Structure 1
Amino acid sequence: MKRRSYRLAIAAVIFALPPSLAHAQSADLVLCDRIAADTSDPDKPADVKGVAEIAPADIPTAIKFCKQASGASRRAMYQLGRAYAADRQTPQAIAAWRKAADKGSTSAMVELGVLFGTGAGVAKDEAQARKLFERAAEAGNPRGVTNLAALGGNAAPSDPSRARELLAKAAETNAEAQYQLGLMLADGTGGAKDEAGARALFEKAAAQNHPGALLQMGAFAEAGRGGPKDSAAARAYYQRAADLGDDDAKKALRRMECPLAIKDKRGNLVTNLCF
């Protein structure tokens, strides 16, 4: 009876630990995600917005909290690499991405592949870059797919048809893959041109607030590509993309508001006429 009471007492002590101790790791990860999550990372939770680039003012905070969270999270380890890279600490970024890649982070594989492919911070090695892109692509990472398809040279010929196949698999759930596959369908890269199919993919990605897809939906709706022409819808898509900071969308809105362009005799834009 005493032994049982002793065990219950231990359990009571464990459950009575302050929340700050019990959830310190998850709190670190939340803060790491908030300022350093990559918008295109397949590991990113759906409720995390992510950032295209870590703001300079957030870099020290990102390094601190991502480092604290990295022991239990490959996503945090990858994001720690992003923070080091943003701070131009390339050796530290590479070390973090290696660890994240070893844990299965496909985004870390892509970043390492880019470094090997360009020779930035490491000896240039296209064969190693290809291996990393292939691992990421086979796991469904859209950037891995597109980088693999784009990697030139005799050791790694471009294969857009294979890129289509891999993107099609990833596009079942991933907005970036939907966007990238949509671009290939729209241009007829790697297979038949299919503007209706491209528009459907852009629409799916736009529903997830993908800036590029919002811009494409605006262009397709404005021109009537792959579906009905709808100026109001085009303007709405452009506005959503502009609100996310897309400069091309801002230009498109300006063009729609001021459709007539006044140019000089050399063809240079002087001004637009607005109505």
Structure 2
Amino acid sequence: MFKPLHAIVFAAALAAPVVAQAQSADLVLCDRVAADPSDPDKPADVKGMAEIASADIATAIKYCAVAARSSRRAMFALGRAYAANRQTGEAIAAWRKAADKGSSAAMVELGVAYATGAGVAKDEAQARKLFEKAAQAGNARGVSNLAALGGGAAADPARARELLARSAETNAEAQYQLGLMLSEGTGGAKDDVAARALFEKAAAQNHPGALERMGAFAQAGRGGPKDSDAAKAYYERAAALGDEDAKKALERARCPYVIKDKRGNPVTNLCF
């Protein structure tokens, strides 16, 4: 029978004595239930999770609060736990403290808050400043969010490539974003082979967008061999993680024949 994550975190900590020697047990437990996969501060051996499980929120707040006294990534994770618990004010406060200590992941979350007016007064200039600071630290989400605001990364795509390359060695989001730029020829030469390699690295870390792109590249034979079976497998994994483009690709594969009227307008699809 499957056990809730909060019921096995102690066993996980005990099962990793080498890691526990390097950092406190509270930080090990905080990482186990609340680490963000895209946080550049996260150790390579910590997988992280896109969302904190509802059953683990109380555990995350408890252990991250203790670990946050000496760890900025735990302070950032504490903010995530508060946000998951709908304690927006506490989340903003934790992210502010983590950002002051240099957490680029916290800078991004604060930037999102200012850009959307979630928990703070909407302030696009402040959001831009935070995204720029995170981008300069090599944070992939900082680069992409700055581009979305029409900031420096959008005005200077070559610079955006450079910033993404700093963290693309291990960061899945950076690999994905840089892969997009290479596949589209944004900020430099177009390179489908290099783009596919980056998407493959990010897909191996279960990045939904990268999984969808790997499906598209395998389906079309871009940057490597054409493989319909592999494409379908990538699309299925991406769709299971909620990627809408992958869901549409699977539907198109299932219903490939379009019936049109005399004017050429689609009427229905033939499925199999």
Normalised to the residue count of structure 1, the TM-score between the two structures is 0.78
Structure 2: distance between partners of 1:147 and 1:237: 26
Alpha-carbon contact 2:153-2:160 (below 8 Å) kept: no
Quickly say closer, same or farther: Cα 1:156–1:55, change in 2 above 3 A: same
Quickly say closer, same or farther: Cα 1:268–1:56, change in 2 above 3 A: farther
Residue aligning to 2:35: 37
Quick check: 1:107 aligned with 2:139? no
The gaps in structure 2 that reach 5 residues or longer are 1-16
Quick check: 1:225 aligned with 2:222? yes
Residue aligning to 1:196: 193
Q: Counterparts of 1:167-182 in structure 2 under 5 Å?
A: 167-182=164-179
Structure 1 counterpart of 2:69, one-letter code: G
Alpha-carbon contact 1:258-1:273 (below 8 Å) kept: yes
Quickly say closer, same or farther: Cα 1:123–1:247, change in 2 above 3 A: closer
Residue aligning to 1:15: none
What is the aligned-residue identity percentage? 77
Q: Counterparts of 1:233-248 in structure 2 under 5 Å?
A: 233-242=230-239, 244=241, 246=243, 248=245
Structure 2 counterpart of 1:113, one-letter code: G
Match of 2:208 among 207, 211, 216: 211
Structure 2: distance between partners of 1:237 and 1:186: 18
Residue aligning to 1:26: 24
Alpha-carbon contact 2:203-2:214 (below 8 Å) kept: yes
Residue aligning to 2:266: 267
Structure 2 counterpart of 1:132, one-letter code: L
Alpha-carbon contact 1:114-1:129 (below 8 Å) kept: yes
Residue aligning to 2:143: 145
Alpha-carbon contact 1:262-1:272 (below 8 Å) kept: yes
Structure 1: distance between partners of 2:144 and 2:72: 23
Q: Which moved more, 1:240-249 or 1:225-234?
A: 240-249
Residue aligning to 1:55: 53
Residue aligning to 2:134: 136
Quickly say closer, same or farther: Cα 1:90–1:243, change in 2 above 3 A: closer
Alpha-carbon contact 2:111-2:131 (below 8 Å) kept: yes
Task: Tell me by how many angstroms 1:166 deviates.
Answer: 0.9
Normalised to the residue count of structure 2, the TM-score between the two structures is 0.79
Match of 2:184 among 184, 187, 194: 187
Alpha-carbon contact 1:149-1:159 (below 8 Å) kept: no
The gaps in structure 1 that reach 5 residues or longer are 1-18
Structure 2: distance between partners of 1:102 and 1:231: 48
Task: Tell me by how many angstroms 1:226 deviates.
Answer: 2.3
Task: Tell me by how many angstroms 1:204 deviates.
Answer: 2.3
Task: Tell me by how many angstroms 1:268 deviates.
Answer: 5.8
Task: Tell me by how many angstroms 1:161 deviates.
Answer: 2.9
Quickly say closer, same or farther: Cα 1:218–1:157, change in 2 above 3 A: closer
Residue aligning to 1:119: 117
Q: How many residues align?
A: 251
